[in-house]
């Protein structure tokens, strides 16, 4: 999201309000003194901004911090009920819709499996679910800021891989689900690549707020990626930056393959089907994957090798602090995958480059839907993170 500072008073005020909201989101509750020190704005200017944001119910006062000389500091934090965002994930195997509050807590969630996504059915289902979100007890529908859709780009190219009829998936070539829903709903509607959206969810709501540069892997039915540079989501010229699924990696047999053919969950699904086991649990991250253990172990080995090589290739181009790995899988499985990637990475020749830290993602299976919800959040309330490199680190609490 690019935000212009503006040359008039209204433009500058809007810029500064986004700046304050972005700093509080990144650092947690902050006082006006801490924000003034971090931004270079005068204390008086910050006071005016924070009073307005409090009046708009976007910030709320916390308990004063005592024990210092002078008046106690009164920190302000994000008000969870200040705004709400709807996110929809259109997956190869399921549709997920979430209603998220201003701090990223899920207030309503729906998941519906499908054999393959049909654009007409997807539009109808999302429209119906948006109505249910607006009727969720305890939320003010007037404060819903928008709907964001996370969807794999060029879905028609994956018909064979997911066992869908080519003609049915071909309907996606001309589908404009964003435009259709925008014409039907009273909210702004946004659309983004699903893996990039998952990375946006980590940036907006995750537990890695101290990271400024990282590559993000999301392992779903197909593996994909996202890119954060200088604390800002980088989507690239076509919105498809960090298309990690297309990265060439060793195929395990002496040749090369795309990462999508080494680290995607459809590969595990095929192993499970070949073993004569039911696959439904694979698309329920709360399920027990222990019955698939032999197939799971073999899949983790291949996926980890592919991801490790992708990490090495990526860090040779940009000196990332970290590689964050998340996915539509149980937390224990994700942690096993991260550990195996670390082991594979340690065995590669990384002469001349510094390997990044490997971290498990903090969002999990709903990252793509939450990433959809983050699209109106970034557009309506936050500043481009490139503007947030502080002059002096805030003296407030450590980032969550």
* Among 103, 111, 106, 102, CA closest to 136: 106
Range among 182-196, 269-283, 375-389 with highest mean pLDDT value: 182-196
Q: How confident is the model at residue 393 (pLDDT cuts 50, 70, 90)?
A: very low
Q: How confident is the model at residue 383 (pLDDT cuts 50, 70, 90)?
A: confident
Using the predicted structure, report yes or no on whether residue 71 has a pLDDT greater than 70: no
Q: Could you tell me the CA-to-CA distances from 242 to 155, 223, 226, 274 in Å, in that order?
A: 17, 11, 5, 32
Contacts for 156 with CB less than 8 Å, ≥ 6 apart: 166, 169, 170, 171, 172, 173
Is this structure's pTM higher than 0.85?
Answer: yes
Q: How confident is the model at residue 239 (pLDDT cuts 50, 70, 90)?
A: confident
Residue 298: Cβ-neighbour burial (10 angstroms; 0-12, 13-18, 19+): middle
Under 8 Å between Cβ of 346 and 352: no
Q: What percent of the chain has pLDDT over 90?
A: 74
Under 8 Å between Cβ of 140 and 193: no
Entry field: residues in the chain: 400
Tally of CB atoms within 10 A around 350: 14
Q: What angle do CA 67, 72, 74 make, to 5 degrees?
A: 125
Domain covering 84-199+368-380, topology:
Nucleotidyltransferase; domain 5 (3.30.420)
Q: How confident is the model at residue 384 (pLDDT cuts 50, 70, 90)?
A: low
Q: Tell me: domain 9-81, CATH 2.40.170.20, correct?
A: no
Using the predicted structure, report yes or no on whether residue 389 has a pLDDT greater than 60: no
The full set of domain ranges for the chain reads 9-81, 84-199+368-380, 208-361
More confident residue, 68 or 338: 338
**pLDDT average, residue stretch 153-173:** 84
Q: 9-81 and 208-361: same fold?
A: no
Q: Could you tell me the CA-to-CA distances from 93 to 159, 176, 206, 334, 398 in Å, in that order?
A: 12, 20, 25, 19, 39
Q: Which CATH number does 208-361 carry?
A: 3.30.420.40
Pairing status of strand 357-360 against strand 322-327:
parallel
More confident residue, 155 or 327: 327
Under 8 Å between Cβ of 83 and 369: no
């Amino acid at each position: 999201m690019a935000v212009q500072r503006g040359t008039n008073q209204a433009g500058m005020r809007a810029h500064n309000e986004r700046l304050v909201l972005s700093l509080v989101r990144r650092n947690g509750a902050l006082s006006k003194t801490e924000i003034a020190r971090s931004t270079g704005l005068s204390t008086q200017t910050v006071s005016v901004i924070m009073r307005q944001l409090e009046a708009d119910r976007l910030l709320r006062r916390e308990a004063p911090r005592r024990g210092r000389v002078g008046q106690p500091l009164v920190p302000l934090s994000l008000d969870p009920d200040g705004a709400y965002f709807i996110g929809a994930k259109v997956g190869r195997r399921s549709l997920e819709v979430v209603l998220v509050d201003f701090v990223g807590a899920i207030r309503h969630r729906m998941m519906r499996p499908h054999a393959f996504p049909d654009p007409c059915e997807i539009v109808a289902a999302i429209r119906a679910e948006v109505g249910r979100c607006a009727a969720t007890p305890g939320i003010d529908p007037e404060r819903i800021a928008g709907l964001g859709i996370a969807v794999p780009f060029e879905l028609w190219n994956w018909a064979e891989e997911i066992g869908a009829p080519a003609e049915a998936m071909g309907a996606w070539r001309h589908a404009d689900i964003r435009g259709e829903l925008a014409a039907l709903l009273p909210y702004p509607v946004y659309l983004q690549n699903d893996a990039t959206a998952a990375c946006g969810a980590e940036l907006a709501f995750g537990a890695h707020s101290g990271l400024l540069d990282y590559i993000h892997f999301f392992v779903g039915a197909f593996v994909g990626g996202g890119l954060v540079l200088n604390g800002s989501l980088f989507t690239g010229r076509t919105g498809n930056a960090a298309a990690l699924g297309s990265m060439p990696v060793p195929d395990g047999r002496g040749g090369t393959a795309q990462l999508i053919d080494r680290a995607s969950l459809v590969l595990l699904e095929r192993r499970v089907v070949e073993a004569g086991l039911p696959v439904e649990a694979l698309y329920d991250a709360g399920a027990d994957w222990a019955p698939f253990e032999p197939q799971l172990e073999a899949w983790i080995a291949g996926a980890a090798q592919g991801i490790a090589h992708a990490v090495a290739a990526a860090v040779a181009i940009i000196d990332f602090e970290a590689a964050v790995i998340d996915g539509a899988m149980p937390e224990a499985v994700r942690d096993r995958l991260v550990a195996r990637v670390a082991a594979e990475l340690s065995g590669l020749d990384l002469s001349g480059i510094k390997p990044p830290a490997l971290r498990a993602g903090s969002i999990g299976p709903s990252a793509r839907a939450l990433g959809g919800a983050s699209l109106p959040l970034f557009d309506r309330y936050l500043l481009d993170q490139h503007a947030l490199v502080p002059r002096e680190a805030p003296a407030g609490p450590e980032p969550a």
